[in-house]
Amino acid sequence: MAYSTRDETDVEMVAHGAYTQKPIDVHTETIEAVETTVGGKDKAAQLLKAAGHSVVVTPEENKRILRTIDWHILPIILVIYCLQSLDKTALSYASVFGIIEDLHLKGQEYSWSGAIVYVAQLVWQPVIAYFLVKLPLGKFCAVMVFCWGATLCGMTAAKDFGGLMAARFILGSFEASVAPTFIALVQMWYRRSEQTNRNAAWYSMLGIVNIFGSLLSYGLAHINGALRPFQTIFLFCGCLTVAFSVIVFLFLPDSPMQARFLKGDDKLLAVERVRMNQMGISSGVWRWDHVKECFLDLKTWIWFALLTAVSIPSGGITTFGPLIVKSFGFDSFTTILFNMPFGAVQLVATLGGAWAATHYKMKSPFLAALCIPPIIGISLLLKIEHTPKNKGVLLFAYYITSVYPAISPMIYSWSGQNTAGDTKRKVTTGVLFIGASAGNIIGPNLYTTTQAPRYTSGLISNLILFILIIILVAIGAAWIRFLNARHAAARERVGKSAKVVDLSMESKSTLQKHDEAVNDTQGTGIGDKAFDDVTDLKNEDFIYVY
């Protein structure tokens, strides 16, 4: 499929043809020079207007630009989330190596030391949503990574429950920005058909950490020195994070318009290839009408409920997972080893679920399917006696429960692919992470060390929530079908085709095979609002993904 850049009057899709314009490099200064003349537009529209000429995104160019973006953006995102996952799980590893005893934690104090990070994230989400609209994403992300790494280093000074809680609250405050920033980056750089796999890629780093972080923590805890085992784990992870923040600052661009690795007209190509997302890229303008629509949109609250429901078991199992395995009768080292397959299942489920959702171009059936293994696993953990002879089946139940992390990134993708308008996207993401933070606060507190080894109240509540998720997914899918029908009717009223091909969700092979048919189907005007910073509910061209 071929697309062109276009100005206010040029809204036709461009067929395959020779590129005859002389390429020019579009500098950031050029974009800034026209910002005041393109009011109410996305910055992508400013770039296209500043360029003064058209480009054609052929399948070959699309493939080349995508490969370039992947090589320059994805590795940075993957390492950052790997470090954040390592930092978060460091507490659960430290629990195996004596932090509860060393800091004299009692009752629910260990649970709250896990939950306090999410209290901070919940508090800061509204501010983060504003920052993501107003501040340059790359530099903002680098500063946050540096600050949370420095905070983790400072956690080594904690000597009691109060000190640990204070340090972890500050840690959560800085970490609150990371995942929302990643969702914004993926929406900015990738077509909707590409977003699910990229979101799954960075989220799957949690599985990598559960595989290799276990061994790393075990090795660090056995370093003989002046520090206690948990202090060594915190200090190493913190220093590693601080060092990588420098790389983030130097190499993660703020947007396609400022990317130094895109030369000549590659900036235009990177922008034009995501036109049919109908989502825009970045406006830099905070719009209160978008905020209002976000809170009045039923989709927002369906996804909020989904994220809360899946985050409650996530928070509990992340914090208490190693202790659950230890309750099967293993020592500390064996517990760490047996936590590694848990990470492997997470990795396979997250990437496999994303591949299936991308291949079949739908989310809801696979979201529901991903709830089945945890339902079976938790049921087995509740039913089977925790005795040495049942270790094998208990481990199997624990491992299939670990499919649940694949659910969260798919909800993020489902939300991201169905929300347009720069401010609305960022606020919606903030609302989702408030739900996720609330769930992660509640989750650990449904478990208590006094209920070891069965943790009955925590597991029963988790079982109910996975069943609830299936019900919520069905409601969400039905509502999205209704919205698509409403948009189809709106297109007909303005003289457009009711039935259009969602180019942002088509594979490259499909676009090449049906290029002419797609052009005929779309009709004049489809995509002309893509960079107008219009919300999904107000853009009749927007196609929802169920």
Say if residue 411's pLDDT is above 60.
yes
Q: What is the pLDDT of residue 431?
A: 96
Q: What gap in Å lies between CA 18 and CA 510, rounded to an integer? A: 22
- Whether 87 shows a pLDDT value over 60: the answer reads yes
CA distance 201 to 417: 16
pLDDT over 70 at 5, yes or no: no
Q: For position 212, what pLDDT does the model report?
A: 81
Confidence of residue 469 (pLDDT cuts 50, 70, 90): very high
Instruction: Using DSSP, state whether 373 is helix, strand or coil.
Output: helix
Q: How many residues does the chain have?
A: 546
DSSP state of 213: I
The burial of 231, by beta-carbon neighbours within 10 Å (0-12 exposed, 13-18 middle, 19 or more buried), is given as buried
For residue 166, the model assigns a pLDDT of 93
Mean pLDDT of 306-323: 83
Q: Which of 71-75, 127-131, 290-294, 382-386 is least confident?
A: 382-386
Instruction: Transcribe 441-494 into DSSP letters.
Output: HHHHHT--GGGTTT-HHHHHHHHHHHHHHHHHHHHHHHHHHHHHHHHHHHHHHT
Cα–Cα distance measured from residue 214 to residue 217, given in angstroms and rounded to the nearest whole number? 5
Confidence tier at 138 by pLDDT (50, 70, 90): very high
Residues 142-152: what's their mean pLDDT?
A: 95
**Helix or strand holding residue 367 (H, E):** helix 364-369
Percent of the chain at pLDDT > 90 equals 46
CB atoms inside a 10 Å sphere around CB 387: 11
- Closest by CA position to 402, among listed 89, 75, 100: 89
234 Cβ contact partners less than 8 Å away, ≥ 6 residues apart: 90, 94, 152, 153, 155, 156
The confidence score (pLDDT) of residue 509 equals: 55
pLDDT at 507: 62
Mean of pLDDT values over 86-93: 76
Q: Which of 1-10, 320-329, 353-362 has the lowest mean pLDDT?
A: 1-10
**What gap in Å lies between CA 443 and CA 466, rounded to an integer?**
13
* 487 touches 543 (CB < 8 A): yes
Q: In the prediction, which pLDDT does 115 show?
A: 80
Model confidence at 142, pLDDT cuts 50, 70, 90, reads very high
Q: Rounded mean pLDDT of the chain? A: 83
More confident residue, 388 or 418: 418
Higher pLDDT, 223 or 318: 223
Residue of higher predicted confidence among 48 and 39: 48
pLDDT confidence of residue 499: 82
Residues 31-44 have a mean pLDDT of 50
Give the whole-angstrom CA distance, residue 476 versus residue 417.
13
> Helices (DSSP H) in 204-297: which residue ranges?
205-208, 214-221, 229-251, 266-272, 288-296
C-alpha dist (Å) from residue 193 to 255, 502, 505: 19, 10, 4
| Per-residue pLDDT tens over the stretch 361-374 | 889 999 999 999 99
* pLDDT of 32 strictly over 50: no
The pLDDT of residue 99 is 82
pLDDT, average across residues 144-165: 92
Residue type, 330: F
Residue 527: the pLDDT is 60
Q: What is the pLDDT of residue 225?
A: 77
Closest CA to 245 of 79, 432, 89, 423: 79
pLDDT at 25: 46
Q: Domain 61-483: give its CATH code.
A: 1.20.1250.20
pLDDT number for residue 33: 42
Q: What is the mean pLDDT of residues 20-38?
A: 42
Measured CA to CA, the distance from residue 438 to residue 431 in angstroms comes to 11
User: What does the pLDDT read at residue 478?
Assistant: 97
| C-alpha closest to that of 91 among 479, 440, 516, 477 | 440
Reported as a single tens digit per residue, the pLDDT across 499-520 is: 877 776 766 555 555 444 444 4
412-462 pLDDT, tens digit each: 999 989 999 899 999 999 999 999 999 988 887 787 767 777 788 888 999
Q: How confident is the model at residue 337 (pLDDT cuts 50, 70, 90)?
A: confident
What average pLDDT score do residues 339-360 get? 90
Residue 224 vs residue 191, higher pLDDT: 191
Residue 293 corresponds to which tokens in the numbers above?
């629509």
Structure confidence at residue 89 (pLDDT)? 73
CB atoms inside a 10 Å sphere around CB 36: 8
Task: Tell me: pLDDT of 169 over 90.
Answer: yes
Q: Is the pLDDT of residue 35 over 70?
A: no
Identify the pLDDT of residue 30.
45
Whole-number percent of the chain with pLDDT over 70 = 86
pLDDT at residue 481 tops 80: yes
Query: Which is more confidently placed, 250 or 60?
Result: 250
Look at residue 521 and tell me whether its pLDDT is greater than 70. no
Neighbours of 198 (CB within 10 A): 26
Residue with tokens 């039923």, as numbered in its chain: 298
Residue 144 clears pLDDT 90, i.e. is over it: yes
The stretch 523-529 carries a mean pLDDT of: 58
CA angle 202–208–213, rounded 5-degree value: 125
CA dist., res. 515 & res. 477, Å (int): 29
